[in-house]
Structure 1
């Protein structure tokens, strides 16, 4: 084997209840679809020039030296309902390199699969590859995509579809639900070991569980604010999909808004709008309350811990509001707010919602002074714009502030669907083009102008799906 991955598998040294050691289930005919060579270099991977070998290793057909494959255990609240045991039902953690997890998704059944087949089809695999890498270039903390491999097998969903496996890279795959499962089982020795591991890996500055909780809260507040800045809707913010590292994880029924409406939902399973765009800030507070509850047993005085943890969680909405207000002002070119600025920004959002203005294109066009084209009532926009121009004319850095805050390109849902439909037929050209475009999401590149267009009525994607 010429491929070398510098594995050092710290999670595999944690107590056994946290995982089950298991190799990936081999596939019939692995074929490499995409490989992220710059990310491989960052991970210290060498010898990654043999396409066939990459296909074998990142399908799970061949285990690289130093790997210690395992499926992780966790629990979680799914749409607010407690599920005492979940876990990697279709994923295998190969190990860690340069401090990052390397995980195969779609690698076969595990003890946590329940009724699932443990596999993935090419649609969700390429969707996560494109969207997670776009999130990275947008400056949003996220898991990354290292490889996509076709399996040469078909799997059954609503129809028969081509199978594929994604190799995902993450700072770790430790979730709120990982803490929850040990707390629920009253495995306090395991909970302490997990806490110490998570502190060393993600929050080395933490001196106790309260410090740790506060660090996680801040990372999650920053993350969700950045999601909202680009109109991203995670779609399934269950506690088992909430990473301790503060990275975006599990790109199932995620989507980006086109026309702005704060209660936008795409996920086919979110029938009550629990995870709508505007509710994500509330839900992350709820998730942090569940983490706080799981951490209480680690404190010597639990009554004092409950009081302190409650204070940390209750302070989170104000922090989120502060972050979002500052973010929204930057989107209209105001880096340092003054009284009345928030009302000005809110008025724009209200006009966008009532007139169906495109979220990304409206903000991007502010710096080009063509935003009025996004509105049906242009006189109303002109009235607002007069006030806005008056406010920013004395702000010399307004243009640069807007350009840094507002991307030109996002992974629009209809473009992702077109890419997937082409890939199912064996055409990877749209995938390659999207990867090229989203590598520079803040650039106005004439080559990719078509990717900025909002969908037509016929192109609109009304629902997104988990893929399981």
Structure 2
């Protein structure tokens, strides 16, 4: 494979771990790589030249047809609980880590190619990705970042010029993904299943230094890491719930120790509110439904705790007690984060006894009326101070049904208790309640246009609009509207 001139400042700490952590291999070249989109802003943050990334040489690098000097490509080993069942060996089956970059802010970031060819862990798969999942992950991961949700990022998407065979022949693509790291709960489970205590100790130290450096010298490093992971997951999943985001595959191999969202396969945002909503085509029992996500995160953290038990204390009973105590803090931490987020969405600052019932009644109304999750909350921001809403008022787009009127009266009375400037309150609510999300029907329309007609204009337009999810502009009405009956998306797919 050709080696391109260095265009990136690689410093690959994961590649310096013992060989049993990964398989060293280069991506498999593709027939005819072509650029789809380069995330220019992210490229600059990483110290990369976006013009070079969009060039023929840069496109070859992003497609896996050449290796840049300093890159040490590898596929990482990990295990995982998938839909509750443990698989002791999963690993990167179609993703290859090119290396780690130092961003302009000094942070170390992974650069990974998704869809880069077969690895030791492909399990009979082709190691490739169809175009659709690449575009979906680009759209949704960048939207999540714009919404302030910790997430992996999309640096670029390139087409491969090769077909990928699933139910039918589809165009292939590669996603260049950036993450604070790709260390998963399943990474720890991999070594715990092999009773490799030394590797667990190495991975704990590595993860603390990478993500929680202030705790690197903790008296009990494994406990410090577990407690940090609990905090990170409680915060992350509360943000998902506040936006109506449904991950779809909350397996332990898809939960990062950094607290970033990863794996945007069968994910989706709810349109009409229903807490039992499931989109994933493989989630037949609703394990990862919207209402179940907080509890599943708790369950996943228990799996991490179990993997770390051998490191927590020499006495096994004491180790289990420490693990249990750490995991048991999750529920309170999630509730605290979620309640704080809800209060911001509703314009409340103080805590009052009646707030719990007020919030519960709102969700009951939303479910019974099947109102749009995103636009219900955005409309409340308008109604918090109608006189100051100005050009951000979305009443021409969406109105709440009359059944909400008694609840709205209660809510307005509750707002009046707090001596807060109405305009300031409303501005805060607008920042907590986006008007633009990756609507499923728009994502699917962008994928269909690109896949069937080689028309990427809808994809680019959607990515551009979602970069500012808060600011309402009437000319962008189509990006904010809920789907019509014939546009509703009921299932999403992972693309493997």
TM over 0.5: yes
Deviations 1:13-47 (A, max 9, x none): 11111100010000000001111121111111237
The CA deviation at 1:342 is 1.8
| CA distance in 2 between partners of 1:299 and 1:260 (Å) | 42
Equivalent position to 1:387, from 387, 390, 410? 410
**235-244 vs 323-332, which moves further:** 323-332
SS of the residue 1:145 aligns to: strand
Match of 1:303 in 2: 317
The CA deviation at 1:276 is 0.8
Deviations 1:248-302 (A, max 9, x none): 0011100000000111110111111111111110000000001011111113423
Match of 2:346 in 1: 332
Is 1:96 matched up with 2:97? no
| CA distance in 1 between partners of 2:69 and 2:124 (Å) | 32
| Structure 1 residues 405-444: aligned runs within 5 Å | 405-424=432-451, 425-444=453-472
> Is 2:381–2:433's contact at 8 Å kept on the other side of the alignment?
no
Q: Taking structure 2 as the reference length, what is the TM-score of the superposition?
A: 0.92
Is 1:313 matched up with 2:340? no
Match of 1:19 in 2: 22
| CA distance in 2 between partners of 1:116 and 1:335 (Å) | 52
The CA deviation at 1:2 is 5.9
| CA distance in 1 between partners of 2:241 and 2:185 (Å) | 21
| CA distance in 1 between partners of 2:197 and 2:473 (Å) | 55
Equivalent position to 1:190, from 176, 189, 199? 199
Equivalent position to 1:267, from 260, 273, 280? 280
Equivalent position to 1:359, from 354, 373, 378? 373
| CA distance in 2 between partners of 1:67 and 1:453 (Å) | 44
* Cα separation, partners in 2 of 1:2 and 1:14, compared to 1, 3 Å: closer
> Is 1:352–1:375's contact at 8 Å kept on the other side of the alignment?
no
| CA distance in 2 between partners of 1:400 and 1:343 (Å) | 25
| CA distance in 1 between partners of 2:6 and 2:371 (Å) | 49
> Is 2:43–2:50's contact at 8 Å kept on the other side of the alignment?
no
> Is 1:326–1:337's contact at 8 Å kept on the other side of the alignment?
no
Question: What stretches of structure 2 of length at least 5 have no aligned partner?
Answer: 103-107, 384-393
Q: Taking structure 1 as the reference length, what is the TM-score of the superposition?
A: 0.97
Match of 2:305 in 1: 292
Match of 2:256 in 1: 243
Is 1:400 matched up with 2:404? no
The CA deviation at 1:373 is 5.4
SS of the residue 2:487 aligns to: coil
The CA deviation at 1:375 is 4.4
SS of the residue 1:346 aligns to: helix
> Is 1:105–1:167's contact at 8 Å kept on the other side of the alignment?
yes
* Cα separation, partners in 2 of 1:199 and 1:263, compared to 1, 3 Å: same
SS of the residue 1:158 aligns to: coil
The CA deviation at 1:236 is 0.2
The CA deviation at 1:154 is 0.4
Match of 1:37 in 2: 40
SS of the residue 1:399 aligns to: helix
SS of the residue 1:434 aligns to: helix
Match of 1:158 in 2: 167
**299-308 vs 267-276, which moves further:** 299-308
| CA distance in 2 between partners of 1:71 and 1:48 (Å) | 28
The CA deviation at 1:194 is 0.9
Is 1:6 matched up with 2:33? no
SS of the residue 1:222 aligns to: helix
Is 1:219 matched up with 2:246? no
Equivalent position to 1:51, from 39, 55, 58? 55
> Is 1:147–1:168's contact at 8 Å kept on the other side of the alignment?
yes
The CA deviation at 1:3 is 6.0
| CA distance in 2 between partners of 1:71 and 1:462 (Å) | 33
The CA deviation at 1:115 is 2.1
Is 1:114 matched up with 2:128? no
Match of 1:66 in 2: 70
The CA deviation at 1:183 is 0.8
SS of the residue 2:154 aligns to: strand
| CA distance in 2 between partners of 1:243 and 1:33 (Å) | 28
The CA deviation at 1:335 is 2.4
Question: What stretches of structure 1 of length at least 5 have no aligned partner?
Answer: none
The CA deviation at 1:345 is 1.5
The CA deviation at 1:308 is 1.2
The CA deviation at 1:390 is 1.1
| CA distance in 2 between partners of 1:82 and 1:406 (Å) | 38
| CA distance in 2 between partners of 1:132 and 1:277 (Å) | 18
